[in-house]
């Protein structure tokens, strides 16, 4: 469980996040939704410590993250996995080396054990026989799957996904969404997903947090999203004509 309490963040005196408090539940897919530029990515980067917050607290199972020193943060981060928008795979390493990297760095596993773990993770994301390919040789969807495999290779307690479906076709996007959801339930991970894709919300959104102009505008489940009377949320969710027609027929 991750608890965010009253965090504020500004860049060059311009407020980007304002007094955000939210609880992300363990074993659930927690989705942060909102328009582009609403502060979703800044929020997720504040939670993992890539941006320092101006004020507020972030607790990972009662461990206060903001006040930790760099070493302590590095230790806690070994319990995190993150899927970046562009995959962020190391382009000079093969798929196998990418996934093996955290194991090389932080474990005393033998080469055989590492290889088995890599193959297990690759198999888990439905990728086989790509071990010796470089990221540039893979499709966007495959790169995302490798990035997921790398994120889960150390059995993380916390999984962060920044726009996991960006640049993917709707079908592949759903495959990736379901993969993240399955892994979350399988390993009881606290998963936070940043998205503006309503298909993702409807597919896997067990808990949904709506951010509007740096403020938490709404919180609920995927079923409640459709029936909410929040003006900004409705404006975001039913932005397209198709969605408006669906809303009218509800």
Partner 1 sequence: MKIIEQVGRYFILMGRVFSKPEKGKIYYKQVLKEIESLGINSIGIVIIISIFMGAVITLQTRYNLENPLIPLYLIGLTARDSMLLEFSSTIVGLILAGKVGSNIASEIGHMRITEQIDALEIMGVNSASYLVLPKVIAAVIFNPLLTLISMFVGIFGGWAASVITGALSSVDYIYGIQYWFIPYYITYSLVKTVVFAIIITSVPAFFGYYVKGGALEVGRSSTKGVVTSSILILLFNVILTQLLLA
Footprint on this chain of partner 1 (rule: CB under 8 A): 45, 48-50, 70, 74-78, 80-82, 84-86, 88-91, 101-102, 104-106, 160
Which residue matches tokens 């039913």? 238
Shortest distance (Å) from residue 84 CB to partner 1: 5
Q: Which is nearer to partner 1, 100 or 216 (CB)?
A: 100
Q: Which stretches within the chain are classed as H helix?
A: 40-48, 70-77, 95-106, 111-124, 140-152, 170-187, 198-204, 222-227, 231-237, 241-249
**Do residues 90 and 101 make contact, with C-beta atoms less than 8 angstroms apart?**
yes
Name residue, tokens 């995959």.
87
Task: Tell me whether residue 50 or residue 239 sits nearer to partner 1 (CB atom).
Answer: 50
We find the least distance from the C-beta atom of residue 125 to partner 1, in angstroms, to be 17
Cα–Cα–Cα angle for 31, 76, 190, rounded to 5 degrees: 25
Residue closer to partner 1 by CB (options 25, 75) is 75
- For residues 44 and 208, which CB has a smaller minimum distance to partner 1 in the complex? 44
Q: Which residue has the tokens 């941006």?
A: 51
Q: Least CB distance from residue 207 to partner 1, whole Å?
A: 22
**Shortest distance in whole angstroms from residue 101 CB to partner 1:** 7
């Amino acid at each position: 469980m991750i608890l965010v309490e009253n965090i504020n963040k500004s860049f060059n005196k311009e407020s980007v996040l304002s007094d955000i408090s939210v609880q992300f539940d363990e074993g659930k897919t927690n989705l942060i939704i909102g328009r582009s530029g609403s502060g979703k990515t800044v929020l997720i980067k504040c939670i993992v410590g890539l941006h320092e917050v101006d004020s507020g607290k972030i607790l990972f199972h009662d461990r206060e993250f903001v006040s930790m020193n760099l070493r302590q943060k590095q230790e806690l981060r070994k319990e995190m996995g993150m899927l970046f928008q562009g995959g962020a795979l190391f382009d000079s390493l093969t798929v196998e080396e990418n996934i093996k990297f955290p194991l090389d760095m932080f474990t005393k596993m033998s080469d055989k054990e590492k290889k088995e773990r890599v193959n297990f993770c690759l198999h888990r994301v439905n990728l086989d026989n790509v071990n010796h390919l470089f990221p540039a040789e893979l499709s966007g969807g495959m790169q995302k799957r490798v990035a997921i495999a790398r994120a889960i290779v150390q059995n993380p307690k916390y999984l962060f996904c920044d726009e996991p479906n960006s640049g993917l076709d709707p079908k592949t996007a759903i495959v990736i969404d379901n993969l993240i959801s399955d892994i979350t339930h399988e390993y009881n991970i606290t998963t936070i997903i940043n998205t503006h894709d309503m298909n993702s919300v409807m597919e896997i959104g067990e808990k949904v947090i709506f951010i509007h102009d740096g403020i938490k505008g709404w919180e609920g489940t995927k079923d409640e999203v459709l029936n909410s009377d929040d003006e900004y949320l409705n404006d975001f969710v039913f932005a397209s004509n198709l969605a408006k027609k669906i809303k009218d027929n509800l």
